[in-house]
Structure 1
Amino acid sequence: MLPAIDTRCPYCGEPIELFVDDSAGGQQYIEDCQVCCRPIVVTVALDADGEPEVAVRAEDEA
């Protein structure tokens, strides 16, 4: 089962749930918001214990 991460969309601010596949290690990908359908950049990194750390940002943010 994929771990679920609760976060907020950087565009509409609505709470969303992301299912993160951390089996490939650190990665970055784009997933659409389930509410407003805008593209969110999801960055996954694994901490020292192997737990996923997830950051989200708007596609047009630097």
Structure 2
Amino acid sequence: MSARSPLLLLLCSLFVFSPTLAQWLDAAGTAWYRHHLVWFAIIIFIYLAARKRDNHGV
């Protein structure tokens, strides 16, 4: 259950902040890489959560 807690927190945070995030991504004159920053942050978060879980399993 401890490995799922950070992911559940991420999903709840995305649900709460999704309107603000959508406005930020769709703002006029945005940089082309803004969408990639969001996905990069999600990938790093999941990697760190999985790495922490693997270290405790050893």
- TM-score band (shorter)? under 0.3
Greater helix fraction, Structure 1 or Structure 2? 2
TM-score w.r.t. length of structure 2: 0.25
TM-score when normalising by structure 1: 0.24
**Larger proportion of strand:** 1
